[in-house]
Structure 1
Amino acid sequence: MPRDSHSPTTSNSQAGTGYSGPLAYLEASMPSLPNVLARTALYIVENPEKVVRFSLKELSRLCRAGEASIIRLCQMSGFNGFSDFKLALAGELAVRDTVGTEAVPKDEHQLLTLAGELSRSVTRTAEGLDLALVQKVADRLRPLHRIDIYGSGVSGIIAELFSYRLLRSRLNAHAFRDVTLAHEVANGLGPHSAAIAISESGVTLNTVDFLRTARAAGAYCVAVTCHPKSALARHADVVLPMAKLNIPAYGGYINAVPRAVYIAEALAALAAPRGPDIDA
């Protein structure tokens, strides 16, 4: 059984990671972590309020990760063990709760700043997107009998937007937000089908499993993510990259949506049938 140290440790930023707290470090590091550690990091980032109340054994069970792996992740974050990590996590949550209301735009200047951030997210995504590659994906999708789209959380909202836009372009695309249903129907995919998986981090377990299942069934697989070298991307035939944002994923924001809408619009426009009587 791994031993969780209770001795004092330096703060995350003092430990040389260069980040203000464990959440900031984990969010930035997820794409480069091994699968088990990335999965654990994602769970912590998405459920920090729960994690501070968990025992090491409880977190191990929920993340499907060994206790030694979790302690290793804590040490990589700059802490001696899980107890020290939880103390720092609780402190970061307290700071977040204190400043959280201050981060909400309250006047015209702050709203204009927010508008600029959203605009830059779309512009940077457009600059990083290879339209020749998007055209290739569109050409592959156009004749297919079925396109399944899946995302979790905010990515699930994005999946529904993708589905709507592709349906308007006469493609048989459907979004699933229920993970069990998504996995069940993915087994029925094949060479004449496609799967589009959406995950900002690229390590969301259910989304990775969905694309893995679809690929095993022979479907054409597309990943939409900020991290082209993530676990999700490894199961994709093609990756359509979104620009990274300097906005915490754990803040409850939906700032990720506009950049994904750009990709959906570009894909739908290029996939739409062409002809004088076609209204895409």
Structure 2
Amino acid sequence: MLKGGLISIQETMPSLKPSERKVAEYILTHPSEVVNLSVQKLAKRTQVSEATIIRLSRTLSFKGFQELKLRIAGDLAQFNNNTHSYQEIQTNGSISSLITTVSHNNVQSINDTLSVLSPEEVEKAVAVLSGARKIAVFGIGASAVIAQDFKQKLTRINRWCEAGFDFDTQGTISANLTAEDVAFGISYSGRTKDVIHSMQIAKENGACTISLTKFGSNPVADLSDINLFTSSLEKSIRSGAMSSRISQLNVIDVLYLGMTSQHYEESIEALERTRKAVQVSKQTD
């Protein structure tokens, strides 16, 4: 079942043009009504042109208004069967409720990401990462944790990976990339200046660029040949850094296993070698 229409609108709302935002707000307020409207009727009710609605659908990476309606209908069906909202963390709540709330939000973030993560883009990413001479991973702050996790995983399967967690290191790595390499920029907002700068240099050097950001147009995604999107729509800023991290790590796991499966035998051999090396190191401590 197609879904992800409402989530895509919510994620993209801040970057929409005024006329597109007017339509988006109407859809979010009246989703059940919109799935039964033609583009002409929706244009009349929102007092915009039909072209604006088509443009909004394309901005959301859908083929047209019909696909947007199908995805909204899928969302509504899912909402009827599940609790589909983020829960606020109460500072005076019990430990039991804290466990439930945090866990629910993390699961929700992964489920929402499934609605905006394109299998075709994932397939492209796995292919170029698997064939790259060198993989450069960039992340600042919380995104550095994601970048470090990917670097560690790639090292285990004997992939040449360099990770940059600050402006100077990222710039230095980018300057030495070639058309045989991949630059992977991780930034939930897609607006981290250091990552943008590094991706620009990598692109100028001919490297393939991949982004992992929240859904929608943003500088890091716009610089990338391949866009991987995640979603985390909870209202609390504090909880946002947690569940968005979980959804990003989930995408990293998908990429890692995709690469491993493409070169299964050599990956297993590399994993076994590194496992033994770590074991020997621990035994001699």
TM-score, normalising length: structure 1: 0.60
Give the gaps of 5 or more residues in structure 2.
Answer: 1-10, 18-87, 272-285
Of residues 174, 197, 204 in structure 1, which corresponds to 2:185? 197
Contact 1:146 1:192 in 2 (8 A): yes
Cα distance in 2 for residues equivalent to 1:121 and 1:106: 23
Structure 2 residue 131 is the aligned partner of structure 1 residue 143: yes
Cα distance in 2 for residues equivalent to 1:118 and 1:239: 22
How far apart are 1:266 and its partner, in Å? 0.7
Say how many residue pairs are matched.
188
Cα distance in 2 for residues equivalent to 1:265 and 1:120: 17
Q: Which amino acid aligns with 1:274?
A: H
Relative to 1, partners in 2 of residues 1:101 and 1:230: Cα closer, same or farther, differing over 3 Å? closer
Look up the match of 2:167: 179
Structure 2 residue 184 is the aligned partner of structure 1 residue 188: no
TM-score, normalising length: structure 2: 0.59
Cα distance in 2 for residues equivalent to 1:159 and 1:225: 13
Q: Tell me, what secondary structure is at the counterpart of 2:185?
A: strand
Cα distance in 2 for residues equivalent to 1:229 and 1:28: 7
Relative to 1, partners in 2 of residues 1:119 and 1:231: Cα closer, same or farther, differing over 3 Å? same
Q: Which moved more, 1:122-131 or 1:250-259?
A: 250-259
Look up the match of 2:259: 271
- CA offset digits 1:27-53 (Å, max 9, x no partner): 9976559xxxxxxxxxxxxxxxxxxxx
Percent of aligned pairs with the same amino acid: 19
Cα distance in 1 for residues equivalent to 2:241 and 2:124: 32
- CA offset digits 1:220-277 (Å, max 9, x no partner): 0001000331111111001100113214446684332110111101111111243446
Q: Which amino acid aligns with 2:149?
A: L
Cα distance in 1 for residues equivalent to 2:144 and 2:184: 11
Contact 2:231 2:244 in 1 (8 A): no
Of residues 238, 241, 245 in structure 1, which corresponds to 2:229? 241
Q: Is the helix fraction higher in 1 or 2? A: 2
Q: Which moved more, 1:217-226 or 1:168-177?
A: 168-177
Of residues 155, 167, 178 in structure 2, which corresponds to 1:167? 155
Contact 1:165 1:264 in 2 (8 A): no
Look up the match of 1:52: none
Structure 2 residue 240 is the aligned partner of structure 1 residue 231: no
Give the gaps of 5 or more residues in structure 1.
Answer: 1-26, 34-99
